[in-house]
Amino acid sequence: MDASRALLLARLELRRAVDLLFFFPRAYEQPAPRTSDEHFQENLRVSFTGTVIDISEKVTQSGKHMFGLLLRTDGGGNVRLMWFNQMFRRNMYRRDERLVATGILRSTGLNWEMIQPQTNPADEQQVDADRPLPVYSLTEGLKQSAMRAIMKQYLPPLIEEIDEALPEAMRSRLEIPGVHQALHDIHFPATEGLASAAQRRFKLQELLVLQLALSMQRQQRERSSQAPVCEPSGKIHSRILNRLPHTLTPDQQTSIDEIRQDMARPIPMNRLLQGDVGSGKTLVAQYAMLLCVANEHQATLMAPTEVLARQHYANLQKSLSHSRVRIGLLVGTLSKKERNSLLELMAAGEVDVVVGTQALLSEDVQFKRLGLVIVDEQHKFGVLQRARLRHDNLQPHNLILSATPIPRTIAMTAFGDLDVSTIRTKPPGRAPVHTYLAKVDQLESWWKFVDKQIEQGRQAYVIAPRVAQTAVDEEDESSVGTKLIASAEGAFSELRQGPFAHRRIGMLHGRLDSEMKESVLAQFANGELDILVSTTVVEVGIDVPNATVITILDANRLGLSQLHQLRGRISRGSFPGYACAVASDGCDATDNDRLKAFEHSNDGFELAEMDLKLRGPGDLLGTSQSGLPAMRIANIVEDAELLEIARKEAREILQNDPELADPDLSKLVNQTLKRYGKSLQLGDVG
C-alpha cells in the first residue's frame, strides 16, 4: 500500500491490516437493476453501462459549479450525469471510459439525465452487479470505490486467521454465523439477508462482551467487599416512618422495601433510585439515611452544587428537628475553622449525616464508620469520583438518585452494575403544570401573562441557554426579539429596561462566584425577587414553591430531558404552574418535533426515551463519563432487543460458571478483559 493511502487510512484509526477487518460498513447500497434504454422510466432508480463521450463544466446563475458527463449507453441512447459543487470530479473521468452509473432517471423531454449519481469503472462492478455494496465511513481524499478496493485486496487472506471467540453451542443458541462467515458476509455480502445476519452476530458479540464485563464487575464487587449490615427490624422501620414528613406513595414504599433488603446484607448495595421531577426520591433517601444511623453508622449525601447541598441540609434539619440525629454540612465556602471543626466531628463519629458537595471527596475527609453514600444526580459526577468514597475495608452501601428518568438501555450499559428502583407516581396534592410553545413575536403577550402572575404574588423564572451574547450570535440574530433570547445577560438587561422595569429581577449563572450565587438564590427563595433570569444552572433540584411560571428562551437548543427538568422547577407548591418554551427564529422541523413532544407530555420517562432516540446515547446523562469505550457496530437505542439477549446470556454464563473456568469461554473472557478490564477495573479472571 502506498504511503499516501496509508496516511488517509490512519485518519480513520486504521493502521494495521487487521484493523480493516473490524472497520465495518455503516450501510449498504442496494443494487439497482441493470436496465437498457427501452425500459427507462421517469423517477426509476437504475444502473446502466455506457461510454463517456463528453465532459463539461459550467457555473450556474446562482453561482453553483456544475460538472457533467454525457454517456452513450450500450443501447445507443444518451444520458447526461450531473454533479453540483464537486470540483474534484474533473480529474476522475476521461473520454471513451466505460462506466456503470447508478441513480434516479429524470427526463428533460429531449434526453435522460441523472443528478448526483454513483459511478464505477465498468470492469470493477461486473461481479458486484447484483450484490449489496458496502458503504464505509470515509475521510477527505478517500473515495468509496477506493475503500472497497482496499478491502477486496487485503481482507480475504486475513479472515481465516481470526480466532472464534464464541463457543459453538452459544452460536447455535443465538442463531448467529461463525466469525469467518460473518466477516466475509459483512464486507462482501451476496445478499441483503447475509449482510444483516453478519451485522447481528457482531452487534450481539459486542453487547455480550460489554454485559459480561459489567456482570464480572458486579460479581467482583460482591465477592471482595464487605458492607455494614443495617438491620431493618420492624421497630426501626416503624420509628423511621413516623419521622418522615409525608405518607409514602406505593412506588416509594416499594423502593424502600428494595433498599431495606439490600442494606440488610453484608454485600454493598449499589442501587439507582430514579424518579420523575417531584416524585419524592428525597424522602426515600431520607429513609435509607435514618436506617443507616439507627444501626450506628454514618451516612453522607453528595449533591452536585452547593445550592442543592444547602437545600438538602435545610430540609433534613427541618424534618429531623425533634430527633437526636446530628447533621453536618460540608461545602467549599465554609471557613477553615468551620471545616476543620466538622472534619474532627466526622472522624470521631459525632456527626450522623453529612450533606455536602465534591468537598466530600477531599483526601483529608475521614468518617469513623461510614455506612451509606447517597449521590444526587450521579451523572454530574465521574464514576471515579464516586469510587473515592469507597476506600476502607468495610465498603459503604451506595444509593444514586436521578431525577432524569434513565431509559432502560442506558441503565443496562453506563449504569450496568446497578440495581434500579423506579418511582413513577407522584405524591398527591401537586398542582398541574400547563405547557405552551411560543415564537419570539408572541413574547410580548406572554410577558403580560407573567406580569399578572407576579401581581397575584407568584414568582417567575426566565431561562436562557448561554451566559453572554457572542459576536457570532450577534451576526446571526439581528432583531431585538432574537437578541433577547441569546443569553442570560441579554435577557436580564432587556427585561429590566422593558416589560419588567417595575419588577425586582435577579440574575444567576455559572460565572458568578459562590457567594453571589447563594445570595441571589436566597433572595429569590425568600420572595425578595419577582423574577430570576438564569442559565440552566437551576435545572437540578432548586425548590421555590412560590415560583409558578418559567419561560425557556431558545428552547430548541436544549434536550427534552433538560427541558423537562427545567419545567420541574415550578408548581412545587399548591399553585398551578405555567411553562412556555420559546423557539428560535428558523427553528427546524426536528427541533420543533421535540418541542411539540415537550408541550404534549409531562411524563419524564416517555420524554427520556424520546430524547434518547432523537439525540442518541452519546451525551445523554453524561454517559461519556462512564469511561467505557465507544461501540463499534452496536447502537444501544436501535439494538435494545439484542442488548436484552446479551444481558441474559452474560448473567447465565456467570451463574453456570462463576470462575469462568470453561476453556471454551477463554477467548471471550480474554476479549472482555482486553476491552473493558482497565475502564471497569476488572481483576484477572479465568
Q: What is the pLDDT of residue 571?
A: 79
CATH number for region 32-130? 2.40.50.140
Separation of alpha carbons 387 and 401, rounded Å: 16
b/e map of 385-411 (b: 16 or more CB within 10 Å)? bbebbbeeeebbbbbbbbbbbbbbbbb
Q: Let me know if 382 is exposed, middle or buried by CB neighbors in 10 A (0-12, 13-18, 19+).
A: middle
**Residue 457 amino acid letter:** G
- 481-503: per-residue pLDDT in tens? 334 446 899 999 999 999 999 99
Q: What is the CB-side half-sphere exposure of residue 23 using CA atoms within 13 A?
A: 22
Q: What's CA 525's distance to the chain center, in Å?
A: 32
- 621-666: per-residue pLDDT in tens? 444 444 567 788 998 878 889 999 999 999 999 999 999 999 999 9
C-alpha cell at 284: 426515600
Query: What's 105's DSSP letter?
Result: -
Cα–Cα distances in angstroms (integers) from residue 578 to residues 496, 523, 565, 566, 581, in the given order? 21, 22, 14, 12, 10
- 163-195: per-residue pLDDT in tens? 999 999 999 999 999 999 999 999 999 999 999
pTM above 0.95, yes or no: no
Separation of alpha carbons 293 and 320, rounded Å: 12
Backbone angles phi, psi at 310, to 5 degrees: -65, -35
Q: What is the CB-side half-sphere exposure of residue 453 using CA atoms within 13 A?
A: 25
CATH number for 440-584 (one of 2.102.10.10, 3.30.505.50, 3.40.50.300, 3.20.20.70): it is 3.40.50.300
Residue 555 φ/ψ region, left for φ over 0, alpha for ψ in the -120 to 50 degree band, beta for the rest = alpha
- 231-242: per-residue pLDDT in tens? 999 999 999 998
C-alpha cell at 398: 451506595
Backbone angles phi, psi at 475, to 5 degrees: -70, -40
Strands 531-534 and 505-508: parallel
- pLDDT over 90, % of the chain: 52
Inter-residue long-range contacts of 509-515, CB under 8 Å, 24+ positions, other chains counted: 509/467, 509/534, 509/535, 509/537, 510/467, 510/535, 510/537, 511/467, 514/306, 514/332, 514/333, 515/333
Q: Please check whether the two domains, 234-264+279-402 and 440-584, share a CATH topology.
A: yes
Say whether 647 sits in a helix, a strand or coil: helix
Q: Count the residues in the chain.
A: 686
Separation of alpha carbons 130 and 668, rounded Å: 36
Tell me the mean pLDDT in the region 317-344. Answer: 92
Q: What is the pLDDT of residue 537?
A: 81
Residue 499 φ/ψ region, left for φ over 0, alpha for ψ in the -120 to 50 degree band, beta for the rest = alpha
C-alpha cell at 454: 407576579
Separation of alpha carbons 536 and 534, rounded Å: 7
Neighbours of 50 (CB within 10 A): 25
3-state SS, 415-469, equals: CCCCEEEEECCCCCCCCCEEEEEECHHHHHHHHHHHHHHHHCCCEEEEECCCCCC
The answer on pLDDT for 416 being more than 60 is yes
Separation of alpha carbons 429 and 627, rounded Å: 41
Q: What is the pLDDT of residue 198?
A: 97
Please report which residue ranges of 461-587 form alpha helices under DSSP H.
471-476, 480-486, 488-497, 514-525, 560-567
Neighbours of 455 (CB within 10 A): 10
Q: Is 327:319 a contact under the CB 8 Å cutoff?
A: no
Separation of alpha carbons 123 and 82, rounded Å: 22
**293-307, 555-569, 659-673: which is most confident:** 659-673
- Domain positions in the chain are 32-130, 234-264+279-402, 440-584
Return the CATH architecture of domain 234-264+279-402.
3-Layer(aba) Sandwich (3.40)
Q: Is 588:581 a contact under the CB 8 Å cutoff?
A: no
Closest CA to 66 of 54, 75, 58, 74: 58
The answer on pLDDT for 292 being more than 90 is yes
- 31-70: per-residue pLDDT in tens? 787 888 888 999 998 989 999 999 999 988 878 889 999 9
C-alpha cell at 180: 469467518
Closest CA to 37 of 61, 64, 71, 4: 71
